Amino acid sequence: MAPAALMLVGTGLAAGGQIYSGMAASAEGKSAENLAEYNAALQEREAKQIEARTALQQRRQAEESERRMGTLRAGLGAGGAVTTAGSPLMIQAKQASEFELENLLIGYTGREEATAARSGAALSRMEGRIARQRGKAGKMAGYTGAGSTLLTGFGAAGTYNRDTYLAKKHGIY
């Protein structure tokens, strides 16, 4: 096979490899985006589960608080205290505020956990979009590299043919 033909075959193979590399980068970017979207969906589902669990915990805590307040009132009443005035009333008010604070803390913690899960989902989606853009850039780089390789290879083959022609014409080759 003539050297110029070998140069053209090599150029074609190199360009094909660059195109394939670009296509692989694009596919990898799409796969990474799909995986990130899947992870984001899991995190969104986790946030909903946290919210449901928090609501249940708050409801159970409120019910338990009511039972404990009833027990407190019964104990105060059994001891002969007037539960609607003075220290027994202050004790009940203090205990009720403690129970309410506990309930609010359960809600706050649950909201924070759910927000963290949703933030993780947003971050996963952003990472997926970045991966896809990186894949698109890799694909473009592959095509650009292939084009550059083809132009350089064709130019080199043309120069080789011209130089060979001139050398034969002048009896050098």
Average pLDDT for residues 103-112, to the nearest whole number? 97
Maximum Cα–Cα distance across the chain: 130
Helices (H), the chain: 3-78, 86-169
129-150 per-position pLDDT tens digit: 999 999 999 999 999 988 888 8
Q: Is the pTM of this model over 0.85?
A: no
The confidence score (pLDDT) of residue 173 equals 65
Handedness of CA 60, 63, 67, 68 (dihedral sign): positive
Using CA atoms of 146, 151, 152, 154 in order, give the dihedral in degrees to the nearest 10. 120
Rounded to whole angstroms, the Cα distance separating 103 from 95 reads 12
Structure tokens at 120: 């993780």
Highest mean pLDDT range out of 63-67, 139-143, 154-158, 166-170? 63-67
35-78 per-position pLDDT tens digit: 999 999 999 999 999 999 999 999 999 999 999 999 998 988 88
Rounded to whole angstroms, the Cα distance separating 65 from 25 reads 59
Inter-residue contact 35 to 132 (CB < 8 Å): no
- In this predicted structure, the answer to whether residue 90 has a pLDDT above a threshold of 80 is yes
Q: What is the residue-averaged pLDDT of the chain?
A: 90
Q: How many domains does the chain have?
A: 1
Q: How far is CA 65 from the centre of its chain?
A: 40
The confidence score (pLDDT) of residue 154 equals 81
Share of the chain above pLDDT 70, in %: 99
Rounded to whole angstroms, the Cα distance separating 28 from 15 reads 20
Rounded to whole angstroms, the Cα distance separating 23 from 69 reads 68
Say how many C-beta atoms besides its own lie within 10 A of residue 91's C-beta: 15
- Give me the domain span that covers residue 81: 3-169
